Protein backbone atom coordinates (compact mmCIF):
# COMPACT_ATOMS: atom_id res chain seq x y z
CA UNK A 1 0.00 0.00 0.00
CA UNK A 2 1.38 3.42 -0.94
CA UNK A 3 0.76 4.85 2.52
CA UNK A 4 2.93 2.28 4.29
CA UNK A 5 5.54 1.01 1.85
CA UNK A 6 8.80 2.85 1.38
CA UNK A 7 10.11 3.42 -2.14
CA UNK A 8 13.71 3.89 -3.19
CA UNK A 9 14.51 6.99 -5.20
CA UNK A 10 17.76 8.60 -6.31
CA UNK A 11 17.21 11.76 -8.29
CA UNK A 12 16.91 15.54 -8.23
CA UNK A 13 14.46 17.59 -6.22
CA UNK A 14 11.99 18.72 -8.84
CA UNK A 15 10.22 21.53 -7.05
CA UNK A 16 10.95 24.06 -4.28
CA UNK A 17 7.32 23.55 -3.28
CA UNK A 18 8.08 19.94 -2.41
CA UNK A 19 11.02 20.86 -0.23
CA UNK A 20 9.86 24.02 1.51
CA UNK A 21 6.16 24.49 0.84
CA UNK A 22 2.97 22.52 1.47
CA UNK A 23 2.78 18.90 0.23
CA UNK A 24 2.17 18.29 -3.44
CA UNK A 25 -1.42 17.38 -4.30
CA UNK A 26 -2.98 15.62 -7.28
CA UNK A 27 -4.16 19.06 -8.39
CA UNK A 28 -0.47 19.98 -8.66
CA UNK A 29 0.21 16.77 -10.59
CA UNK A 30 -2.54 17.57 -13.08
CA UNK A 31 -1.44 21.16 -13.53
CA UNK A 32 2.25 20.27 -13.84
CA UNK A 33 1.86 17.66 -16.58
CA UNK A 34 -1.43 18.69 -18.16
CA UNK A 35 -3.35 15.45 -17.70
CA UNK A 36 -6.83 15.57 -19.22
CA UNK A 37 -8.24 14.32 -15.92
CA UNK A 38 -7.12 12.64 -12.69
CA UNK A 39 -9.54 10.50 -10.68
CA UNK A 40 -8.99 9.00 -7.24
CA UNK A 41 -10.90 5.98 -5.94
CA UNK A 42 -13.45 6.36 -3.16
CA UNK A 43 -11.60 3.80 -1.02
CA UNK A 44 -8.34 5.78 -1.10
CA UNK A 45 -7.96 7.50 2.27
CA UNK A 46 -6.89 11.11 2.59
CA UNK A 47 -3.49 10.05 3.97
CA UNK A 48 -2.98 7.58 1.10
CA UNK A 49 -4.00 10.21 -1.44
CA UNK A 50 -1.62 12.82 -0.05
CA UNK A 51 1.34 10.41 0.09
CA UNK A 52 0.61 9.05 -3.39
CA UNK A 53 0.45 12.53 -4.93
CA UNK A 54 4.05 13.30 -3.95
CA UNK A 55 5.25 9.89 -5.15
CA UNK A 56 3.48 10.27 -8.49
CA UNK A 57 4.80 13.79 -8.94
CA UNK A 58 8.38 12.63 -8.43
CA UNK A 59 7.91 9.53 -10.61
CA UNK A 60 6.48 11.47 -13.54
CA UNK A 61 9.02 14.28 -13.18
CA UNK A 62 11.78 11.64 -13.10
CA UNK A 63 10.34 10.08 -16.25
CA UNK A 64 10.26 13.49 -17.92
CA UNK A 65 13.93 14.02 -17.00
CA UNK A 66 14.94 10.57 -18.26
CA UNK A 67 13.16 11.19 -21.57
CA UNK A 68 14.50 14.76 -21.77
CA UNK A 69 11.13 16.06 -22.88
CA UNK A 70 8.65 18.69 -21.68
CA UNK A 71 5.51 18.14 -19.61
CA UNK A 72 3.28 17.70 -22.68
CA UNK A 73 5.20 14.53 -23.51
CA UNK A 74 4.06 12.95 -20.22
CA UNK A 75 0.40 13.87 -20.79
CA UNK A 76 0.65 13.15 -24.55
CA UNK A 77 -0.43 16.66 -25.43
CA UNK A 78 -3.01 16.69 -22.63
CA UNK A 79 -4.91 13.72 -24.10
CA UNK A 80 -4.06 11.24 -21.33
CA UNK A 81 -6.16 10.68 -18.20
CA UNK A 82 -5.00 8.96 -15.03
CA UNK A 83 -6.81 6.96 -12.33
CA UNK A 84 -5.55 5.81 -8.96
CA UNK A 85 -7.39 3.23 -6.90
CA UNK A 86 -10.35 2.95 -9.28
CA UNK A 87 -11.63 -0.22 -10.92
CA UNK A 88 -8.96 -2.74 -11.78
CA UNK A 89 -8.82 -6.25 -13.09
CA UNK A 90 -8.28 -9.45 -11.08
CA UNK A 91 -4.57 -10.09 -10.67
CA UNK A 92 -3.63 -6.89 -12.52
CA UNK A 93 -1.49 -4.20 -10.88
CA UNK A 94 -2.08 -1.59 -13.53
CA UNK A 95 -3.53 -1.23 -16.98
CA UNK A 96 -4.00 1.17 -19.88
CA UNK A 97 -7.46 1.52 -21.41
CA UNK A 98 -7.19 2.62 -25.06
CA UNK A 99 -10.91 3.31 -25.47
CA UNK A 100 -10.71 6.14 -22.94
CA UNK A 101 -6.97 6.90 -23.18
CA UNK A 102 -6.62 6.32 -19.45
CA UNK A 103 -3.94 4.57 -17.45
CA UNK A 104 -4.90 3.18 -14.07
CA UNK A 105 -2.95 1.93 -11.10
CA UNK A 106 -4.30 -0.16 -8.26
CA UNK A 107 -4.03 1.33 -4.78
CA UNK A 108 -2.16 -1.61 -3.30
CA UNK A 109 -0.24 -3.05 -6.23
CA UNK A 110 0.19 -0.41 -8.93
CA UNK A 111 3.50 1.21 -7.89
CA UNK A 112 6.44 0.10 -10.04
CA UNK A 113 4.23 -0.22 -13.12
CA UNK A 114 4.03 3.44 -14.13
CA UNK A 115 6.70 3.29 -16.87
CA UNK A 116 5.13 0.17 -18.41
CA UNK A 117 1.62 1.60 -18.57
CA UNK A 118 2.79 5.02 -19.72
CA UNK A 119 4.56 3.42 -22.67
CA UNK A 120 1.35 1.61 -23.61
CA UNK A 121 -0.30 5.04 -23.72
CA UNK A 122 2.49 6.47 -25.89
CA UNK A 123 2.47 3.42 -28.18
CA UNK A 124 -1.29 3.82 -28.66
CA UNK A 125 -1.09 7.60 -29.13
CA UNK A 126 1.55 7.27 -31.87
CA UNK A 127 -0.26 4.68 -34.00
CA UNK A 128 -2.08 7.06 -36.35
CA UNK A 129 0.79 9.55 -36.31
CA UNK A 130 3.44 7.04 -37.35
CA UNK A 131 1.30 4.99 -39.77
CA UNK A 132 -1.01 6.29 -42.49
CA UNK A 133 -3.33 3.29 -42.41
CA UNK A 134 -3.31 2.42 -38.69
CA UNK A 135 -6.88 3.66 -38.37
CA UNK A 136 -9.17 1.38 -40.28
CA UNK A 137 -7.35 -1.81 -39.36
CA UNK A 138 -8.62 -4.14 -36.63
CA UNK A 139 -10.21 -2.27 -33.71
CA UNK A 140 -8.97 1.12 -34.96
CA UNK A 141 -9.22 2.81 -31.56
CA UNK A 142 -7.14 0.05 -30.01
CA UNK A 143 -4.26 -0.22 -32.48
CA UNK A 144 -0.73 0.35 -31.17
CA UNK A 145 2.20 1.67 -33.19
CA UNK A 146 4.33 -1.38 -32.27
CA UNK A 147 1.64 -3.72 -33.58
CA UNK A 148 1.16 -1.65 -36.75
CA UNK A 149 4.92 -1.78 -37.37
CA UNK A 150 5.04 -5.56 -37.03
CA UNK A 151 2.07 -5.88 -39.41
CA UNK A 152 3.82 -3.75 -42.05
CA UNK A 153 1.42 -0.82 -41.92
CA UNK A 154 2.24 2.14 -44.17
CA UNK A 155 4.71 4.43 -42.37
CA UNK A 156 4.35 8.20 -42.31
CA UNK A 157 7.68 9.56 -43.59
CA UNK A 158 9.39 11.58 -40.86
CA UNK A 159 12.79 11.50 -39.21
CA UNK A 160 11.34 11.06 -35.72
CA UNK A 161 9.13 8.20 -36.93
CA UNK A 162 12.22 6.54 -38.42
CA UNK A 163 13.83 6.62 -34.98
CA UNK A 164 10.69 5.08 -33.46
CA UNK A 165 10.77 2.29 -36.03
CA UNK A 166 14.43 1.72 -35.16
CA UNK A 167 13.35 1.13 -31.55
CA UNK A 168 10.81 -1.49 -32.63
CA UNK A 169 13.41 -3.11 -34.88
CA UNK A 170 15.98 -3.25 -32.08
CA UNK A 171 13.43 -4.82 -29.71
CA UNK A 172 11.73 -7.37 -31.96
CA UNK A 173 14.38 -8.37 -34.49
CA UNK A 174 17.90 -9.76 -34.22
CA UNK A 175 21.02 -7.92 -35.38
CA UNK A 176 20.49 -9.06 -38.97
CA UNK A 177 17.01 -7.51 -39.00
CA UNK A 178 15.70 -10.69 -40.61
CA UNK A 179 14.78 -12.90 -37.68
CA UNK A 180 12.94 -12.54 -34.34
CA UNK A 181 15.11 -11.35 -31.46
CA UNK A 182 15.92 -13.62 -28.53
CA UNK A 183 13.49 -11.53 -26.46
CA UNK A 184 10.72 -12.19 -28.95
CA UNK A 185 11.50 -15.93 -29.05
CA UNK A 186 11.53 -16.26 -25.25
CA UNK A 187 8.24 -14.33 -25.08
CA UNK A 188 6.64 -16.68 -27.60
CA UNK A 189 7.88 -19.71 -25.66
CA UNK A 190 6.38 -18.33 -22.43
CA UNK A 191 3.05 -17.79 -24.17
CA UNK A 192 3.10 -21.31 -25.59
CA UNK A 193 3.68 -22.72 -22.10
CA UNK A 194 0.84 -20.59 -20.69
CA UNK A 195 -1.54 -21.34 -23.54
CA UNK A 196 -2.30 -17.71 -24.39
CA UNK A 197 -0.80 -14.73 -26.17
CA UNK A 198 0.43 -12.07 -23.78
CA UNK A 199 4.20 -11.77 -23.44
CA UNK A 200 4.74 -11.96 -27.22
CA UNK A 201 2.19 -9.25 -28.01
CA UNK A 202 4.23 -6.43 -29.64
CA UNK A 203 2.83 -3.81 -27.27
CA UNK A 204 3.84 -5.90 -24.24
CA UNK A 205 7.33 -6.69 -25.52
CA UNK A 206 7.98 -3.02 -26.28
CA UNK A 207 6.58 -1.85 -22.92
CA UNK A 208 8.90 -4.25 -21.09
CA UNK A 209 11.85 -3.05 -23.17
CA UNK A 210 10.94 0.54 -22.29
CA UNK A 211 10.83 -0.41 -18.59
CA UNK A 212 14.39 -1.71 -18.90
CA UNK A 213 15.50 1.54 -20.55
CA UNK A 214 13.95 3.60 -17.74
CA UNK A 215 15.38 1.39 -14.99
CA UNK A 216 18.87 1.66 -16.49
CA UNK A 217 18.81 5.48 -16.36
CA UNK A 218 20.97 7.41 -13.90
CA UNK A 219 17.80 8.48 -12.06
CA UNK A 220 16.41 5.59 -9.98
CA UNK A 221 12.82 5.42 -8.78
CA UNK A 222 11.18 2.07 -8.00
CA UNK A 223 7.79 3.74 -7.70
CA UNK A 224 8.21 4.49 -11.42
CA UNK A 225 9.70 1.16 -12.51
CA UNK A 226 10.91 -2.05 -10.90
CA UNK A 227 11.58 -5.67 -11.74
CA UNK A 228 13.49 -5.62 -15.02
CA UNK A 229 16.59 -7.20 -13.46
CA UNK A 230 15.64 -9.35 -10.47
CA UNK A 231 12.01 -10.40 -10.92
CA UNK A 232 10.73 -13.83 -11.97
CA UNK A 233 9.96 -12.42 -15.41
CA UNK A 234 13.52 -11.12 -15.67
CA UNK A 235 14.89 -14.55 -14.69
CA UNK A 236 12.74 -16.08 -17.44
CA UNK A 237 14.38 -13.78 -19.99
CA UNK A 238 11.28 -11.67 -20.59
CA UNK A 239 13.28 -8.45 -20.32
CA UNK A 240 16.18 -7.64 -22.63
CA UNK A 241 19.68 -8.42 -21.38
CA UNK A 242 23.31 -7.86 -22.31
CA UNK A 243 24.19 -6.29 -25.65
CA UNK A 244 20.59 -6.54 -26.80
CA UNK A 245 19.45 -4.45 -23.85
CA UNK A 246 22.13 -1.88 -24.59
CA UNK A 247 21.19 -1.63 -28.27
CA UNK A 248 17.54 -1.09 -27.29
CA UNK A 249 18.55 1.54 -24.75
CA UNK A 250 20.62 3.32 -27.40
CA UNK A 251 17.69 3.29 -29.82
CA UNK A 252 15.32 4.73 -27.20
CA UNK A 253 17.91 7.33 -26.24
CA UNK A 254 18.16 8.57 -29.84
CA UNK A 255 14.40 8.60 -30.28
CA UNK A 256 13.52 10.48 -27.11
CA UNK A 257 16.40 12.94 -27.52
CA UNK A 258 15.02 13.89 -30.94
CA UNK A 259 11.38 13.85 -29.83
CA UNK A 260 12.03 15.91 -26.70
CA UNK A 261 14.02 18.45 -28.66
CA UNK A 262 11.26 18.82 -31.23
CA UNK A 263 8.59 19.28 -28.56
CA UNK A 264 10.65 21.90 -26.71
CA UNK A 265 11.32 23.79 -29.93
CA UNK A 266 7.61 23.72 -30.72
CA UNK A 267 6.80 25.24 -27.31
CA UNK A 268 9.28 28.03 -27.92
CA UNK A 269 7.52 28.90 -31.19
CA UNK A 270 4.10 29.18 -29.54
CA UNK A 271 3.32 32.89 -28.78
pLDDT tens per residue, range 138-156: 555 679 999 999 999 999 9
Angle, in degrees to the nearest 10, between helices 202-215 and 114-130 = 120
pLDDT attached to residue 160: 97
Name the pairing type of β-strands 102-105 and 94-97: antiparallel
Question: How many Cα atoms are found within 13 Å in the side-chain-facing hemisphere of 190?
Answer: 20
pLDDT at 190 over 60: yes
* Overall pTM > 0.75: yes
pLDDT tens per residue, range 62-83: 999 999 999 999 999 999 999 9
205 CB-near residues (< 8 Å, 6+ apart): 146, 171, 172, 183, 184, 187, 199
Nearest CA among 102, 90, 60 for reference residue 225: 60
pLDDT at 124 over 90: yes
218 CB-near residues (< 8 Å, 6+ apart): none
pLDDT attached to residue 149: 96
Indicate the pLDDT class of residue 2, thresholds 50, 70 and 90. very low
pLDDT tens per residue, range 223-258: 999 999 989 999 999 999 999 999 999 999 999 999
pLDDT attached to residue 16: 46
pLDDT attached to residue 266: 85
pLDDT attached to residue 88: 56
pLDDT attached to residue 85: 86
Which residues on adjacent β-strands are paired with residue 82?
Answer: 38, 103
pLDDT attached to residue 90: 53
Give CA–CA dist 1/74, Å, rounded. Answer: 24
Amino acid sequence: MVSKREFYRRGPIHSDRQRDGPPVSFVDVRRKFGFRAISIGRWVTEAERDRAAGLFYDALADLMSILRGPEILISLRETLAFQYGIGGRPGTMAFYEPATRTFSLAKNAGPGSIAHEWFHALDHYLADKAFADAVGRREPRHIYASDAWLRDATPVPHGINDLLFACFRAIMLDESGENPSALFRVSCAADKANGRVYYSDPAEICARAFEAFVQDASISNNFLVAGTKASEEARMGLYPTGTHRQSINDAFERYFFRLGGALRAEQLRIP
